[in-house]
Structures are given as structure tokens and as C-alpha cells.
Structure 1
Amino acid sequence: MASLMTSTIPEVLKHSKQNGQIDATPYIEEYSTFYQHGCESVEDRERRQSDKGKQMISSFYNLVSDFYEYGWAQSFHFAYLQKDEPFACGLQRYEYVLPLRMKVHPGSHLLDLGCGIGGPLRNIARFARCKVTGVTISEYQVTRGNQIIEENNLQEQCNIVYGDFLKLPFDDCSFDGVYAIESTCHTMFKSTVYSEAYRVLKPGCFFAGYEWCVTHKYDPNNEKHRQVKFNIEEGNGLPDTATTEEVLEGLKDAGFELVDAYDLAEFLDIPWYSPLSATFSLQGFRHTRLGHYVTHLSVQFLEKLGVIPKGSAQVSKLLMNAARDLVEGGKLGIYTPMYFFVARKPASY
């Protein structure tokens, strides 16, 4: 099994070297220092939302994108899973909900906020027969995502640009729809990011997405709850985690008319965190605990051989811990990555 893992990992991680990322050690050390261990204070929260925090998020995704692509999928998000179905099917269904609820027509032009390497935007472009532009703060993701778009001959429908979703590089009323899949959790300035979505959206069109939130079960006075929340944020490059009420307030402040909002995690037969805590599965060995461990050992071995960038093992360990903490937050019921919303920009704008 280890030979299977080592034969595949370099095919993904080699992209880091191809794009100039040779030694990840300085970045991961700076990242670890930035996220001081322990529960967050007001000062921690403010620091993580500063310009320096934004740089840390960019560095985080420069480091982890290849690991996500190999160990998860080209779509960096959770999914609505059903019994005995391939993992990829759950991911795609999770994405297809968006153009359906946004009433997207063929030929429409959509914007993907925080698009990663573009897995969702490519799937949605094919499914809805539309154009999709993605924006990400990670220069590495821009390079890798557009490379995959070209490999799939989707240049006519898809493209990824570098940009900050708090200050989008697009004109007013440019898009027929805007969506965000588990990406705007990387800012607590909800009113700002939602206002940018509102600005670039054409009147009468829709904004939809999935947000990471703490649930009504989260108790800020519970030490364990606070620690699990902090661990999730540290392991996933988050400044803080919003409540569902803050998400709704941000949409309202931006000017949107709320169409629908609910926590999809409350309606799942298979918990959202199952792929992170699964036992042995021939269909998804990389998603099992044993798979995580074997992958980590393989990364350590390959790093020593110089096949993959230095610091890769440290990144792997960070992501293993992140998976553990997300499972804990899910089991406690205090955390959800799939608070779903649909909002509309008034036609009279």
C-alpha cells in the first residue's frame, strides 16, 4: 500500500517545484508562529484579520493546495454524501445545487469567490453550460488551476484570476450569478465580502454559498468548545469563525434579499466529517485514518529523498491535526462547514 501512495504523491506535489516552491519550511514556521497555540484572545482575532493575516492565508494555500488535491479532490470542500456512492458524486451534487438554486441559464457568466484550483467551477461550467470566472488570493492556485483548465480544454468557459474577494477586480454588475463554496470563512468581514458580491452582481440575480460556522450548540464559555474551535481555525487558516446569525446579518447589511438559509449538516444521513474519520475503504483509502498516516510517512520519506519540497512533512502533519479537530467539532455538534444560503440582489437596484 505504501508503494501505491509513493507512486502517486510526487505526481501532485511536483507541481510545487514546477512553480518555484522549493522549500516550504520558512512558510510553515512563520504560519505556526502566527497562530499562537491556545484559545484565541481579542488580540489574536484582530491580528488574524489584519493584512498580515491575509498574507498568511495566501501562504497557507500556497502550501496546502497540492495536499488537498492529492488527499481529497480538486474540489476543496465537504459534501452531501449518500450511502454506497462514490465520494466524487457527493462533491458534484454539492456543487450542482448552486446553479440550480441560482436559476442559472446556459451562457450565463458566474463568479466563484475563493475558487481554489477550480474543481467546482469546472464542474459547474460543464453542468450548467455557462462561463465561470474564479478569483483566489493564492498565486499558486491561479497557476495550477489555469493549468488544469487548459489540460481539459475549458479555456472558453473557465478562467481563474488573482484577486482579493474583499476588493474584487471587476466592474459593477458584471456577473449573472456569484457563489462561494466554503471560502468566505477566511474573513470575518462578512458585510464587506458580501457587499463586493452584491456590487459585481447584476440586478435580480442570485448569490449563494456554503459557510463554515459555529452552531447554536457552541458555548463560548466552554473551554473545550473554545479549544476545538481554535484548533480548527489554526489547522485551516481561518481568522475566526462566524455564527449563523452573523452570516445572515452580513447578507442583510450588503443589501441582499434572503431567499433561503439553513444548516445542511442537520439533514445528512452520513455526517459531513465522515470522510475524515472513515475506516478502511477500497474506494477511498486516502480518506481513512490509516490513509492519512501512510500518506504522512510517504511524504516524510520522499522529502528526505529530495523528491518533494522541504517542509512537506510539516504541512502534512498540520493537515492531519486539522482533520482530527474537524471531526471533534462535528461530533460535538458545535461546528458546521455547510451553512447554506441563497440571496438575491433586488431587480430595482
Structure 2
Amino acid sequence: MLSLLADGRVNSRIANYTQFWDQDSSQDKKEHTDNRIANYTDVINGYYDGATELYEYGWGTSFHFSRFFKGEGFVQSLARHEHYLAAQMGLRPGMRVLDVGCGVGGPAREIAQFTDATIVGVNNNDFQIGRARKYTKAAGLESQVTYVKGDFMKLVEQFGEGSFDAVYAIEATVHAPNWEGIYGQILKILKPGGVFGVYEWCMTDRWDKTNPLHKSIAHGIEVGDGIPEMRTIDECRAAVKAVGFQIEHEEDLAERPDPIPWYYPLEGDISKAQTFWDYITVWRMSWSGKFVTHHALRILEAVGLVPKGTWEVGETLKTAAAALVKGGQMKLFTPMYLVIARKPASS
């Protein structure tokens, strides 16, 4: 029986999250992958029921990576990353825009204020929707940014064809069981000539699925971030084209020669922090910061202040951090493969 908490989380989903993975990261079995794909909603919800508050503690309300400039604070870099996507898409006042996999609404609120567009966020996690609405009300943006619960593999069923001027997704559609399905849904809900922008998580051309180290890095990202199956840039590009989009721009922003790498906050290297507040953010991923979090979660879970399974999900985040950093250092993985694509104006 599901134990539904007052905030929308389900105890059993959190506690059972790790059952979807073979614990031997070098020998992930096909049946585990197939099971994750078939049960992607349980994988996603189990992960975010347990990880959302940990994300907010360590990262704020925008759950994504970004590029970093010298002297630029962590929060400012996240906002600039969101602005860049909005600018590339040409978002402007009067447009109705869908945020696919909106999290707790950090990017939706930022993009709404940056562009004056009207944003609708879709999310299948009750806990995150509740928090998104609370933050949006506090920001005074309730008339401009709204949220609905829905399965992003069934967007047409929920919104109808041709219902949005633009759609974006920031590091969210990697959770889909397949890219053709989610991109096809996005194409259909766009008006003719509508634009789609995405920052996608992908394995790069350097990744070799037959290499045990490469395979273990992909597996670490999957188990630590609630992803059914990691796929490549080539597969992403092919899926966008296959459903009928016309690609206007594509680029792996992680390939830019930035002096500070996108993954630096996960390294726990405070020497790369750019502002005072960044030291606190980066410290949380240092050995001492992880030690404090590890034991604090143990205590909070033992006394019932966080749902059972939260500590275990927290441990998977450490697995993810290590895999993401290694994948970034070896350039096997990118969290910012940017695609700007357009629905043909006529068939």
C-alpha cells in the first residue's frame, strides 16, 4: 500500500528507488534497463521525492548546470544559462510557453521575468509542484507562471495539438523512456512555426559503450540521477530530426573553452569559488560537507523528519557527483547539448 505524505511524497517510492538498478555498476543488466524504461514514472518520482530537498539545499531552485565566467557567482551563472536559452529561442512578451519537467519552477520564474512570456510548467511530481507554487506565489508571479501535473509522454492528451508558441526543456527530457516519444509530443503541441529549445544530457562522441570505465560512468549518472538510460548526442540529434523538427542551431556548450568547468561545484574545490556565497555551495560537496550531510540525513530519517529512503537517495547523489565529474573531466558526458529546433510552418 502506498503511504502518501501530506506534501505529496510517497514513502514507498523513495524507499524502493534503488531496486531499479543492479548494484554492480560495471555489469548493469538489460532487464534492469528495460524495467526502468517501462516504469519511468516510478523511477522519476521515487528519485525526486527523495532528492528534491537535497537539491534545494545544495543547488537552489534551478536544478541544472551552467557555464561559469571569472568573477561570476553561482546563482548568476544559472540565471544566465536560462537567459541564453530564452534568447536563442526568441521568447518574447505575449508568447505561451511550456516548461517540460519544470522541477520547482526556478527556470520558469526566471525566464518569465526575463522575457515577459507566459509560462506553464508541467511536472509529474506532486511534491515539486507544491513547492513550485509556493515559491511562485512568494515571487508574485502567479498570474504569469502556472503549473500542472502531467506525464510529459502524454502532452497532446493533456494540452491538445498546436497549443503553445514555444516549448523548452532544461535537463529534463533525459528522464523520458525514449527521445522520439517526448520530442514527438512536443512537436504536436507546438503551433506551426513554433520553436523548441533544449539543454539535453548526453554521452558525447568520445564515449565508448564497450569500454568498462565509460560504461560505469554512464551507469553512475543513471543511478545517481534517476535516469532510465543514458544516450548519445548522435541519438538526440537523430530523434529531433526523426519526429519532424528542423534544427536551427545545435552545440555542446561544454566544449567551450571556459576557464572554470561546468562541474566545478561537484568537485568540492573551494579554490574555484567566485564569491563568498559560492564557498558555502561548494563546501557542501567537499569531504567535510558530505560527511555532515551523510550523518545529518541518518539522524533526520531515524527520527522521522524526512521520509524513509531519503538517506539512500542521498548516497546515490554522491555516486552521481563522482560520475558527472569524471564524465566531465574526460569529456564523455555533457549536460548542455543545446538544440534549437522549429516545427515547420506547414506540412
* TM > 0.5: yes
Equivalent residue number for residue 125 of structure 2? 138
User: Alignment partner for residue 158 of structure 1, among 131, 145, 150?
Assistant: 145
- Counterpart in the other structure of 1:274: 264
Q: Cα offset for 1:18?
A: 5.2
For residues 36-115 of structure 1, what are the structure 2 equivalents within 5 Å? 36-38=22-24, 39-50=27-38, 52-115=39-102
* Range 295-304 or range 29-38, more displaced: 295-304
Cα deviation 1:275-295 (Å, max 9, x = unaligned): 100323542323331323322
Q: Which runs of 4+ in 1 moved over 6 A?
A: none
State, as a whole percentage, how many aligned pairs show the same letter. 37
Deviation at 1:301, TM superposition (A): 3.2
Whether contact under 8 Å (1:233, 1:240) holds in the other structure is yes
Is the partner of 1:283 in helix, strand or coil? helix
Q: Secondary structure at the match of 1:315?
A: helix
Note closer, same or farther for the CA distance 1:344–1:228 as it changes in structure 2 (3 Å cut): same
Residues in 1 aligned to 2:223 and 2:120: alpha-carbon distance in whole angstroms: 29
Structure-1 separation of matches of 2:343 and 2:153: 18
Shift of 1:58: 1.5
Using the TM superposition, give the Cα deviation of residue 44 of structure 1 relative to its aligned residue in structure 2, in angstroms.
2.5
Structure 1 stretch displaced more, 300-309 or 161-170: 300-309
C-alpha contact 1:213 1:339 (8 A) present in aligned 2: yes
Q: CA deviation at 1:329?
A: 1.4
Query: Who is 2:309 aligned against?
Result: 311
Q: Distance in 2 between matches of 1:62 and 1:302?
A: 15
CA–CA separation in structure 2 for the residues paired with 1:324 and 1:219: 19
Q: How many angstroms apart in 1 are the aligned matches of 2:164 and 2:329? A: 38
Spell out the pairing of 1:286-325 with structure 2 (5 A cutoff). Answer: 286-288=281-283, 289=286, 290-325=288-323
Q: Give 1:232's aligned residue.
A: 221
List runs of 5+ in structure 1 lacking aligned partners: 1-15
Corresponding residue number in structure 2 for 1:33 = 19
Task: Give deviations 1:244-265, integer Å, cap 9, x for gaps.
Answer: 1111111111111110111110
Name the CA distance, whole Å, in 1 between partners of 2:126 and 2:67. Answer: 29
Q: 1:157 to 1:307 in 2, by over 3 A?
A: same
The match for 2:136 is: 149
Tell me whether 1:242 sits opposite 2:237 in the alignment: no
Instruction: State the distance in 2 between where 1:307 and 1:148 align.
Output: 22
More displaced stretch, 142-151 vs 235-244? 142-151
Aligned with residue 159 of structure 2, among 147, 167, 170: 170
Q: 2:56 and 2:5 mapped to 1: Cα distance?
A: 15
Structure 2 unaligned residues grouped into runs of 5+: none
Amino acid in the other structure paired with 2:17? Y
Look up the equivalent residue of 1:84 and give its one-letter code: G
CA shift for structure 1 position 297: 2.6
In 2: Cα distance, 1:30 partner to 1:305 partner: 20
- Residues 258 and 343 in structure 1, CA contact (< 8 A), matched pair in contact too: yes
CA contact (8 A) 2:14 2:310 kept: no
Give the superposed CA RMSD.
Answer: 1.8
Aligned to 2:105: 118
Paired AA for residue 282 in structure 2 = H
TM-score by length of 1: 0.90
| Equivalent residues of 1:184, 1:193 under 8 A apart | yes
Q: 2: CA distance between counterparts of 1:269 and 1:279?
A: 14
Counterpart CA distance in 1 for 2:292 and 2:255 is 32
So what's the TM-score if we normalise by structure 2? 0.90
In structure 2, what residue type is equivalent to 1:47?
N
The 3 A distance-change label for structure 1 pair 59 and 308 is closer
Between Structure 1 and Structure 2, how many residues are aligned? 331
Larger deviation, residues 273-282 vs 206-215: 273-282
3-state SS, counterpart of residue 160 of structure 2: coil
Q: What is the CA distance between 1:335 and its match in structure 2?
A: 0.9
CA distance in 1, matches of 2:322, 2:248: 34
Corresponding letter in the other structure for 2:94: G
**C-alpha separation between the residues in 1 aligned to 2:240 and 2:108?**
23
Q: In structure 1, give the amino acid aligned to 2:74.
A: F
Whole-Å separation in 2 of the counterparts to 1:138 and 1:103:
29
CA–CA separation in structure 2 for the residues paired with 1:133 and 1:20: 20
In structure 1, C-alpha distance between the alignment counterparts of 2:281 and 2:74, rounded to whole Å: 11
Measure the CA separation in 2 of the matches of 1:292 and 1:71.
Answer: 11
**Superposed displacement of residue 114, structure 1:** 0.6
Asked if the contact 1:132/1:157 (under 8 Å) is kept, the reply is yes
Looking at structure 1, the residues matched to 308 and 209 of structure 2 have their Cα atoms a distance apart, in angstroms, of: 38
